[in-house]
Amino acid sequence: MVYQIYPRSFADSNHDGIGDLGGVRDRLGHLAWLGVDAIWLSPFYRSPMADFGYDVADYCDVDPLFGALDDIDGLIADAHALGIRVVLDWVPNHTSEQHPWFVESRSSTADPKREWYVWRDPSPSGGPPNNWRAAFSPVPAWTLDPTTGQYYLHCFLPQQPDLDWSNPRVVEAMHGVLRFWLDRGVDGVRIDVVHLLGKDPDLADDPPESIGLPHVGLNDRPETHPILRDLRRLVDGYEDDRMMVGEVYLLDVPRMAKYYGRGDELHLSFNFPALYAEWDADCWREVIDTTTGALDPIDAWPTWVLSNHDNPRHRNRYGGSESRARAAAVLLLGLRGTPFLYAGEELGLLDAEVPPDRVVDPGGRDGCRAPIPWDDSVGHGWTTDPWLPLPPESTVRNVAHLRSNPASILHLYRRLLEQRHASLALEQGDQTFLATPPGVLGWIRSTVGDDHRVILVNFTASIVELGADLDPVIAEHLVLVASDGVGEGGPAPRTLGPDQAVLLGPS
């Protein structure tokens, strides 16, 4: 399981109201207790923070807000000592407008760095070169730079100019960045909007039916695949295991699947249709079937993600009840593939309610970025006024409180992770659906021999009889984990309660 940390919001070691690398380091012991295999750190590089670090001004240094290079070195060493791997967020599609490369690039059309970014003359009518839209707001993905009278491309904010990956110098420089971190001992990278790297050399308009949609959700070009194969060679050139997981933000699984190549592109890719699936058995069945059908069984290992720093937390999206958040934990950790867990899911956090005068993110994503409540003190581990308000229920929904209660959702996650580590079937085995009543999904995870596990999830708000079809499968099975903790250690149930999920194993 990979645990996503948004450093600004995780833990604050110097009490300035903003989380930092020292804070992450202090809490590694807790993550080891939980059973985390790897952490993915959202960006901590030098940045003017227009997009809270996804606008990088120096790829090879730490922003003073988060610490210094020594802190990341220490963090990597401490994590490794605890058996936790470290995955960094690598943002190769765009830099900050304050990156020295862009400062040089915009200085003149004759500058050697001009071609490192995408510059074009205005269209014949004097407007932007094409109809591409930026993310976050419905504005053109182009900004006119008065110094040279040309437009530059930015698929996100104007402060995030897109690099031109068709330029070998850009490729060389960015490979250097990747080596810088891999040589420092990081175990992998999460690659930001990786499907955006290759661009149409003609910069043709987006089709009329997609007018108004950001170009980032549409860009899916053959040019990206050779870029990925080169990156794969670089990463696999390290003898020990290193890994790339890509943010392929395409809401179509077969299109996303191409970014695994033939086992020679991304090692892993996020599966966004799962993040956007509703809490509904049929929706989930469809996403799981589509994923299984689209990914090569050998070359393309799936991933599952329910929440991240860009979307409302799934407890909110699924209607707000803790019982559903608990059942979702069994779902996420029971599926074949690598689960990604966004910090705070294990506490069953809801998004913070952010009053309009405290909204800071241009994309309006503040709610899910609320600080993690750590303890029962007044600020729950933060100054009384952290950079964003704390999430609701922090007096009871904080790490110390939930750790002291074995019936809590935090302990549920821990038990599930313990089970994953104890069973090869659950961690790596095949997956076959079982015949289940409507509103319930059930599947079996198995490897050669007798090692297998059964997962049953009731997506409905009613009690469901499991029925005779399942009897032969789950007879002589025990409840290893129940989402509500009820009946663990006892025989497999005949019914599932509303939003209840169980993990069963042979007795």
User: What is the binding site for ligand GLC (CB under 6 A)?
Assistant: 51, 54, 91, 156, 192-193, 247, 309-310
The residue (of 23 and 339) whose beta carbon lies closer to Ca ion is 23
Binding-site partner at residue 340 among Ca ion, ligand GLC, none, CB < 5 to 8 Å by type: none
Residue number, 17 or 506, with CB nearest to Ca ion: 17
Concatenate the DSSP letters of all residues of 96-143 into one string.
-TTSHHHHHHTT-TTSTTGGGB-EEPPPTTSS-SS--B-SSSSSBSEE
In the complex, what is the shortest distance from the CB of residue 360 to Ca ion, in angstroms, rounded to a whole number?
Answer: 16
Angle at CA of residue 71, ends 65 and 72, nearest 5°:
100
Q: Report what 51 binds from Ca ion, ligand GLC, none; CB cut-off 5-8 Å by kind.
A: ligand GLC
Which own/partner contact pairs does 445-448 have at CB distance under 8 Å and 24+ positions apart? 445/334, 445/336
- Which range in 13-21, 74-82, 330-338, 345-353 contacts Ca ion by CB under 5 A? 13-21
List the Cα angle 318/322/326 in 5-degree steps.
85
Stretch that binds Ca ion, among 4-12, 330-338, 341-349, 446-454 (CB under 5 A): 4-12
Report in angstroms how near the CB of residue 161 gets to ligand GLC at its nearest. 12
Toward ligand GLC, which CB reaches closer, 310 or 322?
Answer: 310
Q: Which of 184, 125, 130, 167 is nearest to 152 (CA)?
A: 130
Handedness of CA 385, 387, 393, 395 (dihedral sign): negative
18 scored as a contact of Ca ion (CB under 5 A): yes
Q: To the nearest whole angstrom, how small is the minimum distance from the Cβ of residue 259 to ligand GLC? A: 15
Give the CB-nearest residue to ligand GLC.
54
CB of 323 to ligand GLC, least distance (A): 29
Write a three-state SS string for 315-335: HHHCCCCHHHHHHHHHHHHHC
Residue 156 binding: pick among Ca ion, ligand GLC, none (C-beta 5-8 Å cut-off by kind): ligand GLC
The binder of 12, among Ca ion, ligand GLC, none, by C-beta within 5 to 8 A per type, is Ca ion
Q: Coil, strand, or helix at residue 421?
A: helix
**Residues 187, 41: contact at Cβ < 8 Å?**
no
What minimum distance in Å lies between the beta carbon of 51 and ligand GLC? 5
Indicate which residues carry an active-site annotation: 192, 247
Is 128 or 246 the residue whose CB approaches ligand GLC more closely?
246
> What are the CA-CA distances from residue 77 to residues 27, 307, 378, 448 (Å)?
14, 28, 32, 36
Report the interface residues with Ca ion, using CB under 5 A: 12, 14, 16, 18, 20
